[in-house]
Structure 1
Amino acid sequence: MELIEQVSVAKKANIYFEGKVASRSVFFSDGSKKTLGVVLPGEYEFSTSQGEIMQVTSGSFEVLLPNSTTWQTFSEGSQFELAANVSFKIRNNAIAEYCCSYL
């Protein structure tokens, strides 16, 4: 298991899609932030307000990236990058987890 050390974690979870997606914000001493999340099976559309790198930490997602018509599969250990102010879709058939780094 990979650990993230010397951080502060928000007590309150970020809850989306009626509880089917939940994450916790992790804050670093340099001012940067990541979120660690769990996604229950389903299909969801997200929007970004800043650039992001989404790393799949457990399970897999199919992702419809901005300006694409083809779903791509990202499995545990893989990642994809998103620009600021875009929308994208994810879908999964089993519980999956992610770590989102903000650019």
Structure 2
Amino acid sequence: MLKVNEYFDGKVKSIALQTETLPATVGVMEPGEYEFGTSQKEVMTVISGAMDVLLPGESEWKTIAQGESFEIAANVKFGVRMAGQTAYFCTYE
């Protein structure tokens, strides 16, 4: 069964699914800046658009373009911001 998640007053929406090997979400974020927390290791891939990411312990934002991925450790917070609608695919370990 698919589960729909909604965050930040509907500006971030995702659908949870189970891949052959890992749980995952696919979603879209409206332009803006958001902070997320993790409970598991995550690997996020931008599938449309681009986002800037502020990773834990970093002081500079890094741009992640369409087709690129980044990893986030479990139990941390990280920031994302985007100028346009951005779609992503995220797996959880």
| TM-score of the aligned structures, taking structure 1 as reference length | 0.86
Query: RMSD in angstroms over aligned alpha carbons?
Result: 1.1
User: Which has the larger strand fraction?
Assistant: 2
> Partners of 2:90 and 2:20 in 1: how far apart?
17
What's the CA shift string for 1:26-66, capped at 9, x where partnerless?
11355x31100100000000000000000000000000000
Q: Which stretches in structure 1 are left out of the alignment for 5+ residues?
A: 1-8
Aligned partner of 1:69 among 59, 67, 72: 59
Q: Would you identify which runs of 4 or more consecutive aligned residues in structure 1 move more than 6 Å?
A: none
What's the CA shift string for 1:53-101, capped at 9, x where partnerless?
0000000000000000000000100000010000000000100000001
In our comparison, the structure showing a higher alpha carbon Rg is: 1
The residue aligned with 1:102 is 92
Percentage of pairs with the same residue: 46
| TM-score of the aligned structures, taking structure 2 as reference length | 0.95
Equivalent positions of 1:70-85 (< 5 A) are 70-85=60-75
- Matched residue count: 93
Q: Which stretches in structure 2 are left out of the alignment for 5+ residues?
A: none
Higher relative contact order (CA 8 A, sep 6+): 2
